Structure 1
């Protein structure tokens, strides 16, 4: 058994105000686990994405998230859960007026290839994107695979 306190965690850079990567903190070997606090407009992901080998479950503790899916937008409210299977594209966004608190669980921990898509103004549409750490390490960058344009910067 291993316990951790959220108060002892440090937030990492990303698309939400608070992101605690709990996988390593708990010593999990088969499950990826992340805790999020999202201000209105923030997301749990860098773009519309899918994982080749991983299913994801999101539990919305408070607030609400709207997920973009292949079948259209789906809103998940406080106290509700949603599951995405391997290969299913999705991206969440806090579309409410309050902070959303969310627990994201993925299994297996090795997600396999992740495909991320975002709008690229330079290319004039949605393209595949790569995620990388900025050279100085002060931000996470999202870049268009077609033209190299930075489409997102998260500090």
Structure 2
């Protein structure tokens, strides 16, 4: 359904957005809308995290020089940023500066949903740190 009418806007349905989590059945979805919308400046993803899923026990990552904002729509998500661990609930925004390694996880028994925004740029791939969140 992705379209680019002459009126100066574009529309993308969920099915038009690439699902980063498709290769990980049982982990939910992370739909990247930027290509489907044809954005030039904004990167935008919607993430649906099933209970017990996310980065715990995995690697942390960061995007040096790139700011990201996570907005919790529903549920509660646990963030690990550097050595800090905290929970964020609905209508809470968390800004990542790109300086610290981070990871997110859904530690609850309920689904959580997030919006993730950043500038869209041809930056280097994220830096990863294995064993970040044992």
Q: TM-score range by the shorter chain?
A: 0.7 to 0.9
Q: Partner residue of 2:10? A: 2
Count of aligned residue pairs for this structure pair: 120
The structural deviation recorded for 1:40 is: 1.4
Q: Using a 3 Å threshold, how does the CA distance of structure 1 residues 44 and 18 change in structure 2: closer, same or farther?
A: farther
Q: Using a 3 Å threshold, how does the CA distance of structure 1 residues 104 and 61 change in structure 2: closer, same or farther?
A: same
Question: How much is the aligned-residue C-alpha RMSD, in angstroms?
Answer: 2.3
Q: Is the 8 A contact 1:59 1:80 kept in 2?
A: yes
Moved more, 59-68 or 102-111: 102-111
Q: Using a 3 Å threshold, how does the CA distance of structure 1 residues 14 and 87 change in structure 2: closer, same or farther?
A: farther
Gaps of 5+ in 1: 120-125, 127-155
Gaps of 5+ in 2: 1-8
Give TM-score, length-normalised by structure 2: 0.77
Q: Distance in 1 between matches of 2:17 and 2:126?
A: 26
Q: Does 1:77 align with 2:89?
A: yes
Q: Is the 8 A contact 1:36 1:101 kept in 2?
A: yes
Give TM-score, length-normalised by structure 1: 0.67
Q: Using a 3 Å threshold, how does the CA distance of structure 1 residues 105 and 118 change in structure 2: closer, same or farther?
A: same
In the alignment, which of 36, 39, 47 is matched to residue 28 of structure 1?
39
Q: Equivalent residues in 2 for 1:38-77 (5 A)? A: 38-43=49-54, 47-77=59-89
- Secondary structure of 1:81's counterpart equals strand
- Structure with the greater relative contact order (CA < 8 A, sep ≥ 6): 1 or 2? 2
